[in-house]
Amino acid sequence: MELRADFPIFRDSTGEHPLVYLDNAATTQKPQTVINRLTEFYAHENANTHRGLYPLSLVATDAYENARVVLQKFINAPSADEVIFTRGTTEGINLFAYSWGRTFLQAGDEIIVTEMEHHSNIVPWQEAVRATGAVLKWVPVKDGELDLDVYDSLLSNKTKLVAVGLVSNVLGTINSVKEITARAKKFGALVLADGAQAAAHMAMDVQDLGIDSLAMSAHKMYGPTGIGALWVRGELLDTMPAFMTGGNMIEDVRHDGAVYQTRAHKFEAGTMPIAEVIAMTPMIEWIQNVGFEKIRAIEDEVTRYAMEKLGAIDGMIMYGTKNLSHRAPVFPFCLSDVHPHDVADTLGSMNICVRAGKHCANPLHNALGVAATTRASLAIYNTTDDIDRLVEGLNEVKRIYE
């Protein structure tokens, strides 16, 4: 596949067991253009942003601010100054939970989360309610999807925020966040969407979704680690106090206080991962060159193949909805009573990379009633050959452990 050739890690992996990478929900591989951008910056353009008056710094600042505009357009945000660079989804959600949560939540207020959230969209809210006396409410999972009837029954005028993932990192469920948001808005609640698992697979249009905030991580969408973004609707962002303070985010500092910058810049304290921010531009260009229509079509084909081949293995228990139109290419499963650690270990010895455990979603595993699962998750470069190798590997697991 020509797209796969853009990723040097596959080019370099030959021999008896070439790399079969099926842990894309943890992090994706990086195309050459992204890797090149990082080295080019460090080799030829390195300078700190926003401070220097010399050309090198101005060029770096331009490239940094340009990435903000590229990201703004990618998620169709109304304005670039609403896009805050963060270390990733986790930092983005924490930023919101500390800044907005500690300021506006009061005892008795309610936050709704779902049982299929990643811990990073749960624990910051547990901390926020602990600090404020607000209450956490949970939308349960039924047949691999959110139970929206229960969601309706949880919504009330006490609901201040709904925190929901666009795509589950375990079940692959594509949640109907637009519908969830429309219902929340009837009660005046804000909606924060966790876009970590959606970003590589589908278009995220914050205005169409109607949400108030979106968090994402570059490393799950073919980009560098250590960088991501939090979008917050401008008028809301204007009401939020600074999260971290220090250099860069200030306008002026006096002995008796400081004046902060506004909007996104107020939330970017200290020197940011400049090279990583700048490398988000080729990352998004790469995604847009392929296009989400084609991404979806390719991933759908491999998904169908995987569901059929994996489902045919004796002793295979697959989790998640069977409705493929509600499903991103993530497959959690259990193989007979072989422990997922042993499954992943054996596959690993064949250079087939999958993850085993609870995938930072303990409440979901408790709800599913399983201690752990094995998870295969796809990206655009995975092929039906990869699935064949996975099936071979799983047959080897059965041979060893059964």
Ligand X SMILES: Cc1ncc(COP(=O)(O)O)c(C=O)c1O
List the catalytic residues.
360
Nearer to other proteins, 257 or 369 (CB): 369
The verdict on 317 binding other proteins (CB under 8 A) reads no
**What are the start-end ranges of the E strands in 249-400?**
250-254, 257-260, 316-318, 330-335, 352-353, 355-357, 373-377
CB 203, min distance to other proteins, A: 35
* Segment interacting with ligand X, rule: CB under 6 A, options 65-73, 84-92, 239-247, 340-348: 84-92
The verdict on 396 binding other proteins (CB under 8 A) reads no
Locus of tokens 């590229």? 70
Site string for ligand X, 22-61 (x = CB under 6 A): ---x------------------------------------
Locus of tokens 């080799």? 43
For residue 250, which of 241, 240, 262, 238 has the smallest C-alpha distance? 262
Of 352-371, which residues contact other proteins (CB under 8 A)?
A: 356-358, 362, 365, 371
The verdict on 90 binding ligand X (CB under 6 A) reads yes
292 binds, among ligand X, other proteins, none (CB under 5 to 8 A by kind): none
The verdict on 400 binding other proteins (CB under 8 A) reads yes
The verdict on 401 binding other proteins (CB under 8 A) reads yes
The verdict on 68 binding other proteins (CB under 8 A) reads no
Of 343-362, which residues contact ligand X (CB under 6 A)?
A: 360
CB 276 within 8 A of CB 218: yes
The verdict on 118 binding other proteins (CB under 8 A) reads no
The verdict on 342 binding other proteins (CB under 8 A) reads yes
Residue 152 burial (CB count, 10 A) = 11
The verdict on 169 binding ligand X (CB under 6 A) reads yes
345 binds, among ligand X, other proteins, none (CB under 5 to 8 A by kind): other proteins
Count of alpha carbons within 13 angstroms of residue 207, beta-carbon side: 10
Sort 10 into a burial class: Cβ within 10 Å, 0-12 / 13-18 / 19+.
Answer: middle
Q: Residue 322 has what DSSP assignment?
A: S
The verdict on 363 binding ligand X (CB under 6 A) reads no
Q: Residue 240 has what DSSP assignment?
A: P
The verdict on 368 binding ligand X (CB under 6 A) reads no
Residues in the interface with other proteins (CB under 8 A) total: 14
SS3 77: coil
DSSP states along 142-197:
ETTEE-HHHHHHH-STTEEEEEEESB-TTT-BB--HHHHHHHHHTTT-EEEEE-TT
Nearer to other proteins, 62 or 345 (CB): 345
